[in-house]
Amino acid sequence: MAGEGKNKNKREEYKQSLKEGDAALPQKKFYRQRAHANPFSDHALTYPKSPTDMNWATHYPAYALSKKEEAGDEAQGSGAQNPKAITQPVEIADIGCGFGGLLFALAPNFPDKLIIGMEIRTSVTEYVQEKIRALRTQAASTTTNQPTYQNIACLRANTMKFLPNFFARGQLSKIFLCFPDPHFKQRKHKARIVSYTLNSEYAYVLRPGGIVYTITDVEDLHNWMVGHFEKHPSFERVGEEEQEEDVCVGVMRMETEEGKKVTRNGGVKYVACFRRLEDPPWP
Amino acid sequence: MAHPYQCILASNAGSLDEFNWTLIGASGPKLVVQSCSGARSTWPKEKEEIAENGQGDEPNGPPGKRLKLSPPEEKAPNFSTMVMSNDSQYLVAITGEDKCIRVFQIDSDCQLQQLSQRCMPRRPSAITLTSDDSTILVADKFGDVYALPLLPSPGEERNAIPTAEPSEAVTEKKFTPAASVLTVHSGRNRKVLEEQMKQAASLPPKPKETMKFKHDLLLGHVSMLTDVIYTTVESPVEGGKPRGYILTSDRDEHIRLSRGPPQAHIIEGFCHGHEQFVSRLCLTKSGLLVSGGGDTDLFVWDWLNSRFLETLSIRDPVFDFLKTNKFESNLPDDKAHFNIAVSGIWNLPNKDSEFDEILVACEGIPALFHFKVTGGKAASSLSHVIAVNANALGVAFIQPRESALQMIVSVDNVHKPASTTELRDEEHASRLQYFSYSQAGGWSSQAGYHKQESDSEVGMEGARKGGDEKAARDILYNVEVLRKRPGAED
């Protein structure tokens, strides 16, 4: 189609016009992408072989071990610190971060924690990365007490397949699953981001006491997620009182892109949080 | 031309005081059993087949009715994998086309009696048994592992509560769309919703395929599972019970370590390192894990601690073997462009060796590769390359007497050696090859015990006439296809 080609060209032109030092926020219209991705297909993904192979330093340059140390390490060879490493581990993951609304809202709430947004759609990931770059540039040129956005990053990943490639056992304290694809069709239910079997992987990367946050405007999906987490012995549902006191719940309701859309439509938002329990002793 | 044995196995070689052995081969949809006493049987029997079709209810009923029950053009499903119970009493086998798990009792006179036939919702890709033989663990192409009792107790069938997804109960009631008008929609979701509305109006929902036998969903990957292992390890706590573990491998390079039931929901770790699909797992005598797949190397692991120990190159010896033996027609000049797919890793039951020893087969390669594995303690090495007459498909070990070890290799009598596509010209190529092993002399070829080859078997003639050729090939060669192709959709 002629129109599509034109759009593609415009996107290319726009993306090439972006420069490293640019402080202007990216325009969302050049990054739109269909809302669904097949989590089972072999996307041309890049992912680390294991959590220790992950190059976090490129995502959080402000937290990278210094260049000098790096050079020293290379000279010393193995046994020294990994040059791809950062000074502290990523602790919060927003899985299916979309255009990053939650990520940008969480950044000032957890200034001393590293937060990662993970998204399967290429263009949407690029948008979030551009926006982070722009916000970091803006923050660098002001002296006011603004968030630096050095503690957030976004990468493209199929977390349903490769979550354990990014995070070690018990590394995370919070996982957000906000407005996931509802996969209405019965035979597509295995493609849902929450299932009894996938919950084992969330339990693996979460430390005991860590929380999974879920929100959706689809009641059926909400019931599905609650059912599958409550069935899983590694999780218990967080009580309503505690849930409403959690600052993250408020942010999740009001700051995600989908959350705003639902508010505009006058829809209902269903929230459920689940705490990771200690593993029981061996039988 | 007889159908090759796509898989073979033998009962525990030389169990403590007896040196009785039983060899079982799967040839297309047939099982052939042979014992050291010379007894031999096949399953299904020609007679039995007819009896089964008649269901035994009306032995004198009109023949027309029988035909209806089992249309002759329906092909018997082929066996894809099998495992024998630790006590050698039972055989558990998977038939691919109908996704069924079949349990057989192995009688003293070598006859197989099918005890049960349980069909799974997804095609099983690997099976194993727990150490106490009570439970079958079945891994499927959709990534899930289920536990089924080896022998379902008679009362169970009715009381079985399928591990229903919570929504199944909901959807079996009257259809209500999952979304409402207030739901935020993408264009696509809106279409799906419309379709659902239309469908609900026109037809009643299809009754869901449910498994009417006891089964528990233990764990799942979002990837095709390729192998599953169950093992127990002594408890590190004094007086503690032995600990059961499940190891699973998938097409996305993962090897996962989970606790055994009833705590199979707990993941203990991953063995990270493969860059291509993992197709086979093997635990050695001393408890090391060896994994292989589409990578150039085999990986050796201290799996309990998710610790990588060493790699063993498998591509290089395969490449060198093909080069030396002039199987060069499909061989690239550069090793780097040569792909191998590990189709089998077997632990050598060699009590005399102080080291772990394994045999490795690769898809479409007329040889087996014998490695000594030390786990990094000393130099692991390739001990022997055993050339066989045709592409190696399966291996079974038997111990006919004290400190004697023999190996039976099933080979592809249909395709040319080193090719998975070209058919060979000889009509009567052998399907099995025999070797005996000695610590000093290595492997030497032997005359067989099997008095087969001449008798009537399910032929491959149909396959030769085209059409079915690909289907027949898929039974024998289904590992290399796991490799991801570059340029998959974005």
pLDDT in tens, B53-81: 444 344 444 444 444 444 445 688 999 99
> What strands lie across the sheet with B225-233, from one edge to the other?
B225-233, B243-250, B255-259, B267-270
Catalytic (active-site) positions of A: 181
Q: Is residue B167 part of a domain?
A: yes
Asked if omega into B262 is within 30° of 0 (cis), the reply is yes
Q: Is residue B144 part of a domain?
A: no
Percent of chain B with pLDDT over 90: 58
Q: Is residue B415 part of a domain?
A: no
Using a CB-CB distance cutoff of 8 angstroms, which residues of chain B are in contact with residue A42?
Answer: 484-485, 488
- pTM of the predicted model as reported, rounded to 2 decimal places: 0.87
* Whether A267 and B270 lie within 8 Å, measured CB to CB: no
List the domain range (segments joined by +) for residue B168. 163-178+190-210
For residues B79-87, average pLDDT: 94
* Helix, strand, coil content of chain A in percent (nearest 5): 45, 15, 40
For residues A55-62, average pLDDT: 95
Q: Is residue B450 part of a domain?
A: no
Q: Is residue B194 part of a domain?
A: yes
Residue A154 annotated in ligand binding: no
* Whether A34 and B221 lie within 8 Å, measured CB to CB: no
Using a CB-CB distance cutoff of 8 angstroms, which residues of chain A are in contact with residue B272?
Answer: 49-51, 53, 164-165
Query: Residue B117: which of B95, B136, B86 has the closest Cα?
Result: B95
Query: Is the pLDDT at B458 greater than 70, yes or no?
Result: no
Number of structural domains found in chain B? 1
ipTM of the assembly?
A: 0.90
Using a CB-CB distance cutoff of 8 angstroms, which residues of chain B are in contact with residue A207?
Answer: none
* Whether B265 and A195 lie within 8 Å, measured CB to CB: no
Percent of chain A with pLDDT over 70: 91
Residue A158 annotated in ligand binding: yes
pLDDT at res. B123: 95
pLDDT digits 0-9 by tens, A172-221: 999 999 999 998 887 788 889 999 999 999 999 999 999 999 999 999 99
- In one-letter notation, the amino acid at residue A132 is I
Q: Is residue B357 part of a domain?
A: no
What's the gap in Å between the CA of A111 and the closest CA on chain B? 31
CA nearest to B235 within chain A: A282
Q: Is residue B335 part of a domain?
A: no
Residue A144 annotated in ligand binding: no
Quickly tell me which residue has 């990837």 as its tokens: B223
User: Residues 43-102, chain A: which have Cβ within 8 Å of B?
Assistant: 43-44, 49-51, 53
Alpha-carbon distance of B293 to B309, in angstroms, equals: 17
Q: Is residue B408 part of a domain?
A: no
